[in-house]
Amino acid sequence: MKDPAEERSYLLNRRAFLSKSSVGIGAAALSSLLGSGLISGCGNRQENLSSVLQNSLALQSFHFAPKAKRVIYLFQSGGPSQFELFDYKPLLEKLRGQDLPESVRQGQRLTGMTSGQDSFPLASSMYSFKQHGQSGMWLSELLPYTSLIADDICMIKSMHTEAINHDPAVTFFQTGSQQPGRPSIGSWLSYGLGSENKNLPGFCVLLSRGTGRPFGQPLYSRLWGNGFLHSLHQGVQFRSGKDPVLFLNNPEGIDAASRRMMLDQVAELNQKQYDELGDPEIQSRISQYEMAYKMQSSVPGLMDVSEEPDHIYKMYGPDSTVPGTFASNCLLARRLAEQDVRFIQLYHMGWDQHDNLPSAIKNQARDVDQASAALIMDLKQRGMLDDTLVIWGGEFGRTNYSQGLLTDTNYGRDHHPRCFSIWMAGGGIKPGMVYGETDELGYNIVKNPVHVHDFQATLMHLMGIDHEKLTFKYQGRRFRLTDVHGRVVNDILS
């Protein structure tokens, strides 16, 4: 690295790169992507670059012995209703249709969608609950397959967040801040720990749309963005279809050899430019070209699921035969995990059931239930669940009262930040556990609240990182995923 002050000025002003990049012919050739900082040794061809990049990795060793080597985060975008899935509230059945007392609501901020509503009729779940597994976990009939893994998961019923609308809430979960611009969890981990696989990015993203509300809120790629970290740490989105990663294939008429030659030349120019300017983004760029080149050969094999036997498809469910579905993404997630990709982020959209909740959530749950459970079982039978952390959950919960008209067969639910349920399983998490409690109406938390920052701190802890120590200095202050908050939830650690 050059003079830090100078370097920082380039971090802030990327334009310098663009304005000057047309001059100069340079020296060192380079190739290999970083060997990671902790797990060094992913390639040794070009000491020059990888050593520079290693220095950019924050950690030289784990703060704690990591319980999990990788994370698969099954993000359920839209805010799944805890009442129809996880949080059994028999009292709501008795009080169905009655107004939610103000003493319970206590001035909770509402979204514009229900703030004008003159009554808040309590709505009970249309779907029945049963206890499952040795742990006796209550789960809804909408989750017949998740019920099979009740003894493998830890259900947290006392999650709470600060945001009440989708984008800030998802951004908060993924980056620790409601405002856009901070790095995503996967980027922080990539920054702290590097990549375990020299041929694949350390942070991969897969998207799917649910049938519950097929055209609901979009997601923005900044959710898996690197924020102010080097762009090398951003999540790489994998798609279904011919081009799993956009712009990865060589243009027509260009063969691998000439591509290689071109990359070497461009790398030389970039290195020259870096020597002159010291902008770390140039290095990110060089390594991204290299990564892309390696991915040209690693990705097709990874995405070719045809080698999976039929019984695996049956296990993940018929949807898994259709590329781009949540089920097929779960299958891909397992394949990425087998390749030691550190952070695998799935987003499944369509949980935003403001109206038509009973029918919509049924479809939506069917999208994810079997595949989520299959992923846990599949990891388990391969011996990977021990060191893979799987997380299932959305950005907030839903209200215990109906949005719009409550009829015998229909109702909706608005966003609710004060309590919701998520589950975690595998690497370092106590299996078969229910943590936290909500009140009998399911509006407030009465025991063991877990804030989003606590969740993030716990995730980092399981990966061997002290969330207070992984920081990045930017614009004069040190940032971290959990800002100035977050406590590790020790009670759920095995």
Per CB under 8 A, 64 contacts other proteins: yes
Q: What is residue 297's three-state secondary structure?
A: helix
Backbone angles phi, psi at 398, to 5 degrees: -130, 160
Nearer to other proteins, 248 or 305 (CB): 305
**Phi and psi angles of residue 178, each rounded to the nearest 5 degrees, phi first:** -75, -25
Candidate ranges 32-40, 96-104, 243-251, 449-457; the one touching other proteins (CB under 8 A) = 32-40
SS3 18: helix
Q: CA-CA distance, 165 to 301, in Å (whole number)?
A: 39
Q: How far is the CB of 64 from other proteins (least distance, A)?
A: 5
Footprint of other proteins on 285-344 (CB under 8 A): 306, 310-311, 313-315, 317-319, 321-323, 338-340
Residue found by looking up tokens 């140039």 in the block = 282
Pick the binder of other proteins from 264, 276, 281, 355 (CB under 8 A): 355
Q: Residue 478: CB partners within 8 Å, gap ≥ 6?
A: 471, 472
Q: How far is the CB of 20 from other proteins (least distance, A)?
A: 35
Closest distance of CB 91 from other proteins, Å = 25
Could you say whether residue 356 binds other proteins (CB under 8 A)?
A: yes
Which C-beta is closer to other proteins: that of 11 or that of 305?
A: 305
- The reply to whether 61 sits near other proteins by the rule CB under 8 A is yes
Stretch that binds other proteins, among 166-174, 229-237, 403-411, 450-458 (CB under 8 A): 403-411
- Per CB under 8 A, does 62 bind other proteins? yes
Separation CA 118–CA 201 (nearest Å): 51
Written as six digits, the tokens of 262 are 């071109």
Q: What angle do CA 227, 232, 236 make, to 5 degrees?
A: 85
Of residues 170 and 385, the one with the C-beta less far from other proteins = 385
Which residues touch 13 (CB under 8 Å, ≥6 apart)? none
Q: Tell which one of 412, 427, 428, 442 touches other proteins (CB under 8 A).
A: 412
Contact 425, 390 (CB under 8 A): yes
What ranges in 60-134 are assigned the alpha helix state H? 82-85, 90-94, 102-105
By CB under 8 A, the count of residues binding other proteins is 59
CB of 49 to other proteins, least distance (A): 15
Interacting residues of 352 by C-beta distance below 8 A, sequence separation 6+: 78, 79, 166, 213, 216, 217
Could you tell me the smallest distance in angstroms from the CB atom of residue 126 to other proteins? 14
Number of Cβ within a 10 Å radius of residue 261:
10
CB of 152 to other proteins, least distance (A): 11
What gap in Å lies between CA 471 and CA 480, rounded to an integer?
Answer: 5
Footprint on residues 135-194 left by other proteins (CB under 8 A): 148
Nearer Cβ to other proteins (233/354): 354
Using rule CB under 8 A, residue 213 touches other proteins: yes
Four-CA torsion 283, 285, 289, 294, nearest 10 degrees: 60
Q: Which is nearer to other proteins, 4 or 218 (CB)?
A: 218
Residue labelled with tokens 């950005």 = 395
Please state the closest distance from residue 438 (CB atom) to other proteins, in A. 22
Determine the interface stretch with other proteins among 23-31, 85-93, 292-300, 405-413 (rule: CB under 8 A): 405-413
Which two three-digit tokens encode residue 45?
């061809």
Binder among 43, 48, 96, 362 for other proteins (CB under 8 A): 43
User: Exactly one of 7, 141, 196, 276 binds other proteins (CB under 8 A); which one?
Assistant: 196
Task: Tell me, residue by residue from 439 to 478, as one string, x for binding to other proteins by CB under 8 A and - for no binding.
Answer: -------------------------x--------------
Name the minimum Å distance from CB 196 to other proteins. 7
Joined together, the tokens standing for residue 368 give 């994810």
Element (H, E) at 47: helix 47-56
Question: Candidates 109-117, 228-236, 256-264, 272-280 — which segment interacts with other proteins by CB under 8 A?
Answer: 109-117
C-alpha 314/C-alpha 107 separation (Å) is 48
Token pair in block for residue 420? 């919701």
Give the tokens for residue 337. Answer: 């995990």
Burial class of residue 349 in the structure, from the number of CB atoms within 10 Å of its CB (0-12 exposed, 13-18 middle, 19+ buried)? buried
CA distance linking residue 260 with residue 133, whole number of Å: 55
Tokens of 60: 């030289």
- Please give the residues from 362 up to 391 whose contact with other proteins meets the rule CB under 8 A: 374, 377-378, 380-383, 386
The answer to whether 410 contacts other proteins (rule: CB under 8 A) is yes
Can you tell me which of 163, 282, 360, 422 binds other proteins, judged by CB under 8 A? Answer: 360
Using rule CB under 8 A, residue 258 touches other proteins: no
- Between CA 273 and CA 282 the distance in angstroms is 8
* Interface pick for other proteins out of 41, 107, 251, 253 (rule CB under 8 A): 41
Q: Give contact residues for other proteins (rule: CB under 8 A).
A: 35, 38-44, 61-66, 113-114, 116-117, 148, 196-197, 213-215, 306, 310-311, 313-315, 317-319, 321-323, 338-340, 354-356, 359-360, 374, 377-378, 380-383, 386, 403-405, 407, 410, 412, 464
